Structure 1
Amino acid sequence: MRIIFIPVDERFCTRDYFLLLAETFNIEVVTPPIEMLGRKKIPADIDAIWHWLETETKDDDLLIISLDMILYGGLIPSRISIDSIETIRKRLSKLKNIKQPNNKIYLSATVTRIPAYNYADEEPDYWDYFGVKIYEYSKKIVQFKRGILSAEDLKKAKATLPTWILKDFLWRRERNFNILKLTIKLLSENSIDFLNLVLDDNAPGSLSVFEAERHANYVKKLGVVDRISIHPGADESLLTLLARAMVEHVDYHPKIRIFYSQPEFVDLIPPYEGTPVKESVPVHLETCGATVVPNNEDGLLIVHNPNDRRESEQQVQANESVYQRIVEVLTRREISGICDIAFANGADNKLVESILNPRFDWSKIIYAAWNTAGNTIGTVCSSLVLRILAEKGFITLDLDKLYELNAIFLLEHWGYQANVRKILRDVEAPKRGGDLFTVIPLEGWATKYVKEKLNPFKERIEKTFGRIYDYLDPFFPWHRPFEIGFLRNSEESANGGRK
C-alpha cells in the first residue's frame, strides 16, 4: 500500500509536514517533484501534475489530493486564477479516470477566504486598496440573503466598490462555489471516497460560512453526510486525510477523550474562524477517523483553548492553575496530543515552559501551535491518531522521527512564531530594507539571524529530548517573514532547501 500525495502548494508546512509525519510512522509516500508545484502566486504546472498522477497511480494506492492544486495550481492560485469554469470542469472530470476499483481517493478542498485587510500578498492585486471594503460588502450579502438587510442598504454598500472589482470578485467566488458543488456530486457518484471541505480564514457571519452552509445542505440532499467533513482549516487538511486513510485501511477507529484547559471558554470563537472551539475540535477528530469518548481509552487530546482573541505576539498568561492542570494530566504518561491554541499564530510561552521537561514522556506526546486554531487542531489530531495506531501495532513508529517532528514544531511554533518573528519583522528587517511581506533584500542575513535567535530554544528542546538537532537550518519558503521551514540535511541544502 502506497500513499499518492498531491499537496496544496510547495511550502514546508503543507508539503514537508505531511512527509515528516509519514516518515515518523514508516508510511510509503509518492509525491511529485517540488519543481512541479509552482511558487506562491505562480501556479503549478497543472498538466504535468495530472500526467504524473495518471502515470503514477496504481490500482491499490491511497490517493490524498489537494483539489486546489490539481484544478488551479495551488492555494493562492485558487484565489487569483482567471481560468474559465469550463477549463476547471474538464480538469475535475479527470478524477473519474483516476478512480480504480481498489484505490481510494481522499480529497481536500477549500472554501475561498475573504481577508479583512488591504494587502494583496495572497490575493488579487486590487486587495491592496479595497480588501476591507470587499470583506464588508461580502458580509452584507449574507445579511441580505438572511433577510436582515434591505436591498437599498446592500446597494449602498455595493456603490463603495468599483464595478470591475466587484464583478471580478463575484465571478471568481461563483466559479469556485460551483466547482465545489460539482465535486460533492462526484462524491455522491463514488468517483471520490472522502472529501475534506475546509474553510480558509473565515469569521462568524462571513460569506465563506454562508457558502459552507449551502454546501452542507446539498450534502444532506445527496445523502453523503458520512463521507464529507466541513470545518475551519486549510493548510493542515491533508494531514487529516492521512490519518483517516490509515484508520480506514487498518479498520481501527481510536477512541479519544478531549480535555480543555479552560472549559469555561469553549464557546469562544478563535481568530480567523467562524466556529466555537467546542464544535470544531470534535469534528477535526472525527474527520481523522477517531471516535470521541467521555473517558480515556486510547488517547487524550489536550486543548489549551483561548480565553480571548489574542495573537501570540501579544500574549497574556492565563491563571497559573490552567497550566498546572495540563502538567497534572501529562504526568499520567498517556498518549497525548497538545493543541496549543490559546493564541493565534504561535505558542503560549508559559505552556511550553511548563511542559518542556524530561520528566514527561515525549515518546507519547505530540505538540503543535501554528497559525489558526484549525491548523493546529488538525495537525495534532492527525498525529495523535497515527501515534495510537502505532501503539496498537497497526503501523510502526520511528521514535527518533517523532522526536524530530516535535522539535521542528516547537522550533517554529514556539521559538519562531511566538518570539523571534516579531523582532525580525518589526525591528530588525526594516533596518535592512525588509518589511511585513518580504525578506528578499536581506534573505541571507535574515536566515543567519533567525538561526542564531532560535539557538536558545533549540538548546532547551535538545535538553528535554536528549537529542541534538544541529542539522536543522531555517529557510523562508515564500521569502517572507511569516513562516519558516527547516533544511533537514546537507542534501536538502544543496537542492535549495527541498527534496
Structure 2
Amino acid sequence: MTKPRKLILVPLDERPCNYEFPYLLAQGTDYVVERPPTDIMGLKKRPGDVEQLWSWFEAACEGADSAVIALDALLYGGIIPSRLHGLKPDELHARLEQLREIKRCYPQLKLYAFQLIMRCPQYSLSDEEPDYYADWGREIFRKGFIGHRLELGIATDEEIRELADIDLRLPAAVLQDYLGRRAVNIEANKQALELVRDGVIDFMIVPQDDSAPYGHTAKDQEKVRARIMALDLELKVYMYPGADEVGCTLLARTLNMAEGRRPLIYPRLSAVQGAFVTPLFEDRFFYETLKYQILAAGGLIASSAAEADLVLLVSTPGETMAEAVSQHHAYFSYDIHRNLMDLVEYGSYLLRHKKIPVAVADVGYANGGDQKLVKMLRQKNMLFDLAGYAGWNTSSNSLGTVISQATIYLHCGRTQVHLDFLALRYAEDVCYCSVVRGELSDGPVQEMGYGKYELDGPRGIVAARVQERLSEELVVRIDSPEGSVKITDCYMPWNRMFEVGLSVQYVPVEAG
C-alpha cells in the first residue's frame, strides 16, 4: 500500500474559506494535511500567535512532501493583522529568513507560498481596517486613486479639485500611519521574492485583494512587478486579483506538480463580451485573470473541448458586473447580452453524450451565485454531476475555488468528499450569499437587536435563524429526487453577516 503523502497548510486566517476549504478538498486525495491548531490562529483583528505558528510549522515539516503557506499568517498573524501591525522591516526580514533554515533542514520540501499586496478599500468602514478607516477610508482611497492618475497625466480637473479638498481635510497622522504600513509591507513582499530567487520558495502567488486600476494598491503592484522582472521570476511568481481562494489554488498546483500533470481546461463563456468585463473589486479584464487562475493551479487553457480534460462553463456578466443581492431586478446586460441557456445545454450535452467533465464558474455577479443559472442546472439534473462549482465573494475567489475542485476531481473522481464540497458551495454561495444573507441583514437582524457587523456571537440566535432559512432554501433550490443537502453545523465565524461557517453533507436518496 502506498504511503500517504504529507502536506502542511498554513492558512491565511481562521475563516472557513482559508482554514477549511483547502483542507476539505484535500480529503479526497492521498495527501494527509496538517494545519495549525485553531487556538494559535487568531481571530479577525486579533493576530495569531506568530511565534507559535513558526514553531508548529517547523515541527510539522518533519516528513512532509510539500507545504502551502500564507506568508501573511507567518509574518503578521493573518490577513487583517497585516493591515494593523506596527512591525519594522528588520523584524519581518528575520521572520522570513527562518524559511531558509527550514529548507536547509528539509531540502525535499516543496514550498508553495502566497503573500498579499495590502488592499485599499474604496469605502469608509473599519470592520477590517484600522479604526480611522471608518472616518477617512474613502478619502485615503481617493487620494491614492487621483494621485496615481495625476502622476500619469490623466486626472480630470474635477479630480484635481477633489484631491485638493482631501489634502485640506485628511489628517496627516492618519495618512502617515497608513502609508508607512504599506511601505513596510511592500518591503516584505520584495524580501520574499529573494527567497524564490534562491530556491527556498518553489512557487509563489502575489494576490491582490480588492484591487483597482489606479491607487495605492496599483502603485504597489508596479513596485513588486518591477522586482519580479529584475530577479527574472516571471515564471515562478504570479500576480493577479484574488486572496481567500489561493490556498485552494496552491493545493491543486501541489497535486498536479507531484503527479506531473497539466490538465487542459477549455472555458466556455455565457457572453461574447464576458471576457472583456472588469469584475467588481478587480483591476483587469476577466479573461486575463482566468488565464492566471488556470495556470496557477497547474493547468493550461485548451483550444477546444475536444482536446480538453475539463470544460469550464463560465457565467459572466454581459456588460458590467452587479452584486448578487440585486439579481431580482431586471438588467438589460444580464438578460440580453448573455445566454445562460446555451451554457447549460452545452454543458448537459458534454456530460451526457461526450462524457467530458464539466465545472461551473458562477461569476456573473459579485458576492453570490446566480439563481437563474442554478435553477437551470437543477432542471437538467446537473448540480451533483459537475466536477466543480463556485459563486462566492469576488470573481477570483470563485474561479480559484472551482478550478481547484475540478482539478482534484480529475485525479479522484466523484467521491463523497467531492459531493459534500459541492453541497457546501450550493448552501453557501447560492442559498446564503444570494438569498439568506441579504434577506436577514436588511431588517430581521436589526429587529433581533443586532447589526450585520455585530451579531449575538458565532452560535447565537442569528446563527440558528440562518440555519433554519438555509435549510428551507436548500429544499427549494438544490434538493432533487436523487439526493438532498443536510446542514450539520452553522455558525458566524467573525460575528457578522458577511460570511457563514457551514458543515454539510450530500445525502443520496438510496442512503436516506
Question: 1:159 corresponds to which residue?
Answer: 168
- Say if 2:308 is the partner of 1:304: no
Counterpart of 2:473?
457
Contact 2:377–2:383 (CA<8 Å) still a contact in 1? no
- Find out whether 1:45 has 2:49 as its counterpart: yes
Q: Cα distance, 1:368 vs. partner?
A: 0.6
Q: Do the aligned partners of 2:241 and 2:396 also contact (CA within 8 Å) in 1?
A: yes
Mapped partners of 2:274, 2:477: distance in 1: 30
1:142-197: CA deviation from partner (whole Å, max 9, x where unpaired): 224334459x9766643331011011011000001111011111111111111111
> In structure 2, what residue type is equivalent to 1:250?
E
Deviation at 1:434, TM superposition (A): 1.4
For residues 14 and 259 of structure 1, do their structure 2 counterparts lie closer, same or farther at Cα, with a shift above 3 Å needed? same
Secondary structure of residue in 1 paired with 2:365: coil
**Could you tell me which amino acid in structure 2 is paired with residue 313 of structure 1?**
V
Structure 1 counterpart of 2:325: 313
CA distance in 2, matches of 1:274, 1:156: 26
Q: Which amino acid aligns with 1:368?
A: A
For 1:351, what is the secondary structure of its paired residue? helix
Matches within 5 A, 1:484-499: 484-487=500-503
Residue 237 of structure 1 corresponds to 246
Determine whether 1:143 maps to 2:155: no
Instruction: Quote the residue 1:393 is aligned against.
Output: none
75, 87, 93: which one pairs with 2:91? 87
Aligned partners of 1:58 and 1:442: how far apart in 2? Answer: 35
- Residues 70, 40 of structure 1: CA spacing in aligned structure 2 closer, same or farther, 3 A cutoff? same
Q: Which runs of 5 or more structure 2 residues have no equivalent in the other structure?
A: 506-512
Q: How does 1:332-481 map to 2 (within 5 A)?
A: 332-333=350-351, 334-357=356-379, 359-360=381-382, 362-388=384-410, 390=411, 396-397=412-413, 399-440=415-456, 444-460=460-476, 463-464=479-480, 466-481=482-497
Counterpart CA distance in 2 for 1:364 and 1:488 is: 17
Unaligned residue ranges in structure 1 (runs of 5+): 391-395, 490-499
**Alignment partner, residue 494 of structure 1:** none
State the secondary structure of the residue aligned to 1:44: coil
Alpha-carbon offset, residue 471 of structure 1 = 4.4
* Offset at residue 427 of structure 1 (A): 1.2
Aligned residue number for residue 510 of structure 2: none
| Matched position secondary structure for 2:441 | helix
What secondary structure, in the 3-state scheme, does the structure 1 residue paired with 2:235 have?
A: helix
SS of the residue aligned with 2:68? strand
Q: Distance in 2 between matches of 1:132 and 1:459?
A: 41
If the length of structure 2 is used for normalisation, what is the TM-score? 0.90
Partners of 1:230 and 1:218 in 2: how far apart?
Answer: 12
Instruction: Please give the alpha-carbon distance, in whole angstroms, between the structure 1 residues aligned to 2:54 and 2:249.
Output: 23
SS where residue 124 of structure 1 aligns? coil
2:346 paired residue number: 329
Aligned residue pair count = 483
> Is 2:236 the partner of 1:220?
no
Which residue in the other structure is 2:508 paired with?
none
User: Residue deviations 1:401-460, cap 9 Å, x none?
Assistant: 111101111101100110011111111001122113121279522122111111233225
SS of the residue 1:413 aligns to: helix
1:232–1:280: 8 Å Cα contact kept in structure 2?
yes
Q: Which residue of 2 aligns with 1:496?
A: none
How far the C-alpha of 1:488 sits from its partner, in A, is: 5.3
Q: Distance in 1 between the 2:266 and 2:463 partners?
A: 40
Decide whether aligned partners of structure 1 residues 311 and 361 sit closer, same or farther in structure 2, where only a CA change above 3 A counts: closer
CA RMSD of aligned residues (A): 2.1
Alpha-carbon shift at residue 473 of structure 1 (Å): 2.5
| Alignment match, 2:112 | 106
Alpha-carbon deviation of 1:482?
A: 0.6
Shift of 1:117: 1.1
**In the alignment, residue 424 of structure 1 is paired with which amino acid?**
L
Deviation at 1:26, TM superposition (A): 4.2
User: C-alpha distance in 2, partners of 1:159/1:40?
Assistant: 33
> Structure 1 residues 422, 156: closer, same or farther in 2, change over 3 A?
closer
For each residue in 1:453-489, what CA deviation from the matched residue of structure 2 results, as whole angstroms up to 9, or x when unmatched?
A: 1123322566338334434332101110111011459
CA contact (8 A) 1:197 1:231 kept: yes
SS in 2 for 1:24: coil
Moved more, 327-336 or 35-44: 327-336
Q: CA deviation at 1:360?
A: 2.7
Residues 332-364 of structure 1: CA distance to partner in whole angstroms, max 9, x if unpaired? 112122111111000111001010246337344
